[in-house]
Amino acid sequence: MITAPDPAEGKVCYDLDRTYVFHSWSAQGKLNPLCVAGAEGSYVWDYDGNRYLDFSSQLVYTNLGHQHPKLVKAIQDQVGTLATIAPQHAVKVRGEAAKRIIDVSTDNFAQVFFTNGGADANENAIRMARLHTNRHKILSFYRSYHGNTTAAIAATGDNRRWPNEYAAQHVHFFGPFLYRSVFNSTTPEEESERALAHLEQVIMFEGPGTIAAILMETVVGTGGIMAPPPGYLEGVRAICDKHGIMMICDEVMAGFGRTGAWFAYQHYNVKPDLVVFAKGCNSGYVPAGGVIISKEIVATFQDRVFPGGLTYSGHPLAMGSIVAAIDIMQEEGTMEHSARIGREILGPGLTELKDRHPIIGDVRGLGCFWAVELVTNRETKEPLLPYAAPMAGPITEVVAECKKRGLLPFVTGNRVHMVPPCNISETEAKEGIALLDDALAAVDHYAQ
């Protein structure tokens, strides 16, 4: 329930934050954060009484929305039962969480290694692949984000990698992206074929016997919400099998209902060797992540020590929240609901906006995972904001116009990502599209 406006308390919140809190990915002196007083369902609100429809899912993780009562109660119950325990001990709730994750995965997986989030999950998946293959190189997309720990940020393809390149043996290649194809493709099938041929070339010149894994976001998230074209993931799987390379699917953002399936790779005829998860596994209520490990890789470490671990691996509060979240998703039909919202409301609604707004160059997505790409010229596809440019000018106006109307979007690069909770109602989904429609009308003049 929304609380009464309290601007004085809002000022206390703001002053505390700006005096004592050091924020990520930011020049500290330029920050003006939204002070959140509360949240419920698909909404958040500030201390001035302004309510926002949350089409960001914060950082694309509140898959069950804010303050889901069953999920909150499960965490409260777990605190009363067992608040913490070290990872070397067995605890039932950890086993239950791992079993539930294996149960919704494909049949080649055996066990789960729990982490505190997505970055350290990717870090450990990379370590497992290197030790399992006795090889050192990791291949990953240029358009990608895998986290801000040492190997994860080196595997990242976007510009956040540039000031953080301290890990070695990471190689990048171009994944498929038909809208801005680097292969001059004109159809999804052509893009898939040419992107696979490019990957084969990279592998040949890097040396197949040096490559431990190909790491990819199954559906690229922050880099633009790009689902792979038909045949691409299957082609990557075949290439991996041909060269003895591990296939790692990063499902940190795409997993647990975001695309309308438990995992995005399940939309395709593939079985990865390792799957990385976090975010939506418990809607971010407690920090949690992990690596789902194939039977083959689990066998490698039966008599060989795995040289990795975390103090809070499998923390009981995180485990209780994962158990509850998966149970809720099954009870409420979250996968089916997310798929239908994307198919019947978000997809058609955002495509209709493209017909009305010359500033929209492309609309793409699935489930509750959509991107609206903004351009200054549809013919040339000139982006509204150049690659790697700081958030400024027209794109900040887009954010301001959205928030002015009560919409909280996820904006990155030259895109508005429309990524609401996976249990959003039809009415709320339509409202989000209408609010974006009004906001874009105020900035259409930037398009030629």
Q: What is the pLDDT along the chain (448 residues), one digit of tens a residue?
A: 677 999 999 999 999 999 999 999 999 998 999 999 999 999 999 999 999 999 999 999 999 999 999 999 999 999 999 999 999 999 999 999 999 999 999 999 999 999 999 999 999 999 999 999 999 999 999 999 999 999 999 999 999 999 999 999 999 999 999 999 999 999 999 999 999 999 999 999 999 999 999 999 999 999 999 999 999 999 999 999 999 999 999 999 999 999 999 999 999 999 999 999 999 999 999 999 999 999 999 999 999 999 999 999 999 999 999 999 999 999 999 999 999 999 999 999 999 999 999 999 999 999 999 999 999 999 999 999 999 888 888 999 999 999 999 999 999 999 999 999 999 999 999 999 999 999 999 999 999 8
Put residue 370 in one of left, alpha, beta given phi > 0 → left and psi -120 to 50 → alpha: beta
Q: Which of 52, 2, 40 is nearest to 408 (CA)?
A: 52
Q: Are 401 and 431 in contact (CB under 8 A)?
A: no
DSSP secondary structure code for residue 227 in this structure: P
With b for 16 or more beta-carbon neighbours within 10 A and e for fewer, the 318-347 pattern comes to bbbbbbbbbebbeebebbebbbebbeebbb
Nearest to 369 by CA among 61, 52, 15, 131: 61
Helix (H) or strand (E) holding 141: strand 137-141
Distance CA 306, CA 319 (A): 22
Residues of the chain with CATH 3.40.640.10: 69-332
Rounded distance, CA 366 to CA 73, Å?
31
Through-space distance between the first and last CA atoms of the chain, rounded to whole angstroms: 44
Beta bridge partners of 51: 45
Altogether, the residues listed in the chain come to a count of 448
Q: Is the dihedral of CA 63, 9, 432, 447 positive or negative?
A: negative
Which of 362, 325, 370, 318 minimizes the C-alpha distance to 343?
370
69-332 fold:
Aspartate Aminotransferase; domain 2 (3.40.640)
Q: How many CB atoms lie within 10 A of CB 151?
A: 25
User: What is the topology classification, in CATH, of domain 7-67+333-446?
Assistant: Aspartate Aminotransferase, domain 1 (3.90.1150)
| Structure tokens, 10 | 């809002």
CATH 3.90.1150.10 maps onto the chain at 7-67+333-446
